[in-house]
Amino acid sequence: MTRIEFWQGNTACAEGALAAGCNFFGGYPITPSTEVAEIMAAKMPKKGGVFIQMEDEIAGIASIIGASWTGARSMTATSGPGFSLMMENIGYAAMTETPCMIVNVQRGGPSTGQPTMGAQGDMMQVRFGSQGDYAIIALCPANVQEMYELTARAFNLADQYRVPVFLMADEIVGHMREKIIIPDSMPQIPRRPLVKGTLPFKAGADLVPGFPQFGKGYGVHVTGLTHDERGYPAATNPQLHEALVRRLVDKIENARHAIADFDIINPDAEQVFIAYGAPVRTVQQVMHDHPDKNIGFLRLRTVWPFPEFALREFKNVKRFLMPELNLGQMAREVERHVRVPVVSIQKLGGELTTPTELVAALEAPL
């Protein structure tokens, strides 16, 4: 039977990871994500898993990459400064097609910034922060329930597509407390094993190779260098490099419809909000309270790969309005795909966008 809890967002994240079968956590405590590590430290050993506090965030991401190759469902949790330190190894995880899960409870930046205040300033960094061309998956929860559910989904996506997957939360959602409904179990999609006799980096029609787990009879060369289907370095081969990088990108981009997770409300509206993370809550309040009930809403849970096809569902839209806790990072992505104005409602300083601010933008002349 399901049960009801009253949890903090970070608690729900840790519990969602445990329910999803996470059995390795490697990380370094950093505000405002520390509660995730604290709960994992307390509960992981009791479930037969491994918790290890590393010397820094670079070691934390390295440890979960190594653990994943032994077959573990592995994760780390961090915030802005630690996330920046992880970027080189995130590129390594993308190049080696290592399934792993990274939680970023975002805070105000740049640099040390506002350790205890919320932000959404890392949305471009998660997509483009490491070197070269690659693709990742990023999910954004707007409430405590989704901290639990999207954490569990992130592990499934990581294993299904052999890619690092990110839960891009923010301090507001990470530290709020709400009622949450806990199901009996969470579905788990295991990674597809490598077929005996198949080259370890040879992909099928879905562009995702089977996974050769260390300790299960496979001798596999794993390198961040450009490599052939055997895993051997081939860094001076231009054609092979292009084919490899295009496959790493296409395996995610070609699956964008399957990965996408969003809600469309009032598709015939002329004014449409787009939001992800904590600002979703303000939009929901405005839509509940405002006398004009024909306000549209594209509510994103998956932000990368960006589901631009969802924008086409709003046939009569005259402008999109996008509140973000940054200076319009994802609004620029929306502008790439539409021919109507995109009003970027920007908020810095750590506080959530208010209904008054959204209503002012909504009632401004078209």
Q: What are the tokens at 287?
A: 């839509």
Q: Cα 158 from chain centroid?
A: 10
Bridge partners (DSSP) of residue 3 are 182
| SS3 category, 341 | coil
Amino acid sitting at position 27? G
**Among 236, 259, 282, which residue terminates a domain?**
259
Range of the domain at 62: 1-259
Tell me: cis bond preceding 110? Omega within 30 of 0 counts. Answer: yes
Residue 365: per-residue pLDDT: 93
Element at 342 (helix H, strand E): strand 342-346
pLDDT in tens, the chain (366 residues): 789 999 999 999 999 999 999 999 999 999 999 999 999 999 999 999 999 999 999 999 999 999 999 999 999 999 999 999 999 999 999 999 999 999 999 999 999 999 999 999 999 999 999 999 999 999 999 999 999 999 999 999 999 999 999 999 999 999 999 999 999 999 999 999 999 889 999 999 999 999 999 988 888 999 999 999 999 999 999 999 999 999 999 999 999 999 999 999 999 999 999 999 999 999 999 999 999 989 999 999 999 999 999 999 999 999 999 999 999 999 999 999 999 999 999 999 999 999 999 999 999 998
Bridge partners (DSSP) of residue 262 are 300
**Among 215, 235, 259, which residue terminates a domain?**
259
Cα dihedral 148, 154, 159, 165 sign = negative
| One domain, residues 95 and 20 | yes
| One domain, residues 69 and 193 | yes
| One domain, residues 336 and 289 | yes
Residue 42: per-residue pLDDT: 98
Residue 336's domain is classified under what CATH number?
A: 3.40.50.920
Buried/exposed 55-85: b ≥16 CB within 10 Å, e otherwise: eebbbbbbbbbbbbbebbbbbbbbbbbbbbb
Which pTM does this prediction carry?
0.97
Q: What are the tokens at 261?
A: 């997770």
| One domain, residues 252 and 324 | no
Q: What's the domain count of the chain? A: 2
Element at 48 (helix H, strand E): none
- In 3-state terms the chain splits into helix, strand, coil percentages (rounded to 5) of 35, 20, 40
| One domain, residues 159 and 107 | yes
Q: Where are the alpha helices (DSSP H) in the chain?
A: 9-19, 34-43, 57-69, 80-85, 87-96, 123-128, 144-161, 171-175, 238-253, 256-259, 279-289, 329-335, 355-363
Cα–Cα separations (whole angstroms), residue 48 to 18, 21, 41, 72, 189? 11, 11, 12, 12, 20
| One domain, residues 64 and 159 | yes
Amino acid sitting at position 342? V
Tell me: cis bond preceding 305? Omega within 30 of 0 counts. Answer: yes
**Beta carbons of 13 and 103 less than 8 angstroms apart:** yes
Amino acid sitting at position 257? H
Residue 66's domain is classified under what CATH number?
A: 3.40.50.970
| One domain, residues 89 and 7 | yes
Q: What are the tokens at 221?
A: 């060369």
Residue 216: per-residue pLDDT: 86
| One domain, residues 235 and 283 | no
Strands 74-78 and 100-108: parallel
| One domain, residues 7 and 152 | yes
| One domain, residues 225 and 349 | no
**Among 239, 259, 279, which residue terminates a domain?**
259
| One domain, residues 266 and 177 | no
| One domain, residues 249 and 268 | no
Tell me: cis bond preceding 238? Omega within 30 of 0 counts. Answer: no
